[in-house]
């Protein structure tokens, strides 16, 4: 993010576009839903963008071949790559979590359920990212997949939240 600040801007703009559009269309009545939608988008986009990174590392740098032949365990490799994707989402998550703390009046049970749903969505997006990166032959192709899936999986839940 330090070398390419546009990456930070791109990571922050996407979830806040959902927040702004839903709030604007509902005249502020669905601001809480918009915050939850921004969280959904942030977590899913972070997980599915793993696909393009893995495809780039696999096809262009042949890094995955080196890791497979090294003593690194698959779980450690997956955990490391997953945590690397979360790093890009920290600015968006921090702002959205502060907004959620201020504007959402949820009980502890509701917070636990929302957290579990977000973590499951993130896990599914990471699994999709890993799976699709094995089929991708080119980074450009993986960018298209990640954009399409991110759009699909982040807009559909918006209609089912409330």
The confidence score (pLDDT) of residue 1 equals: 64
How high is the pLDDT of residue 12? 82
CA distance 23 to 14: 15
Q: How many CB atoms lie within 10 A of CB 153?
A: 19
- Per-residue confidence (pLDDT) for residue 101, from 0 to 100: 93
Give, in order, the Cα–Cα distances in Å from 52 to each of 10, 82, 101, 145.
Answer: 15, 13, 32, 9
Write the pLDDT tens digit of every residue in 18-74: 888 888 989 999 899 889 889 988 999 889 988 888 888 887 887 877 887 888 888
User: Is pLDDT of 8 > 90?
Assistant: no
* Contact by Cβ (8 Å): 139, 56: yes
- The predicted model gives 87-97 an average pLDDT of 91
> What integer pLDDT is reported at residue 118 of this predicted model?
93
Q: What is the pLDDT of residue 116?
A: 96
Token pair of 47, please? 């997980």
Of the candidates 151, 129, 155, 153, the residue with the CA atom closest to the CA atom of residue 142: 129
Q: Are 140 and 68 in contact (CB under 8 A)?
A: no
Domain ranges of the chain: 5-152
* pLDDT band, very low/low/confident/very high, at 4 (cuts 50, 70, 90): confident
Contact between 51 and 133 under an 8 Å Cβ cutoff? The reply is yes
pLDDT for the residue numbered 33 = 87
Would you state the pLDDT for residue 159? 65
* Amino acid 161: pLDDT: 54
Q: CA-to-CA distance for 30 and 51, rounded, in angstroms?
A: 32
Instruction: Find the mean pLDDT for residues 135-154.
Output: 81
Q: Which tens digit of pLDDT belongs to each residue from 103-133?
A: 998 999 999 999 999 999 999 999 999 898 8
């Amino acid at each position: 993010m330090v070398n390419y600040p546009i990456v930070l801007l791109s990571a922050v703009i996407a979830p806040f576009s959902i927040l702004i559009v839903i709030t604007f269309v509902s005249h502020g009545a669905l601001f809480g839903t918009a915050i939850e939608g921004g969280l959904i988008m942030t977590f899913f986009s972070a997980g599915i963008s793993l696909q393009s990174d893995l495809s780039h590392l696999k096809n262009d740098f042949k890094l995955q071949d080196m890791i497979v032949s090294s003593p690194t365990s698959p779980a450690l490799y997956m955990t490391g790559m997953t945590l690397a994707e979360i790093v890009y989402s920290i600015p968006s998550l921090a702002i959205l979590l502060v907004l959620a703390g201020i504007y959402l009046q949820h009980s502890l049970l509701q917070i636990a359920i929302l957290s579990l749903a977000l973590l499951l969505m993130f896990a599914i997006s990471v699994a999709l990212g890993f799976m699709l990166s094995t089929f991708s032959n080119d980074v450009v192709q993986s960018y298209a997949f990640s954009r399409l899936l991110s759009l699909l999986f982040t807009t559909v839940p918006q209609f089912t939240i409330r």
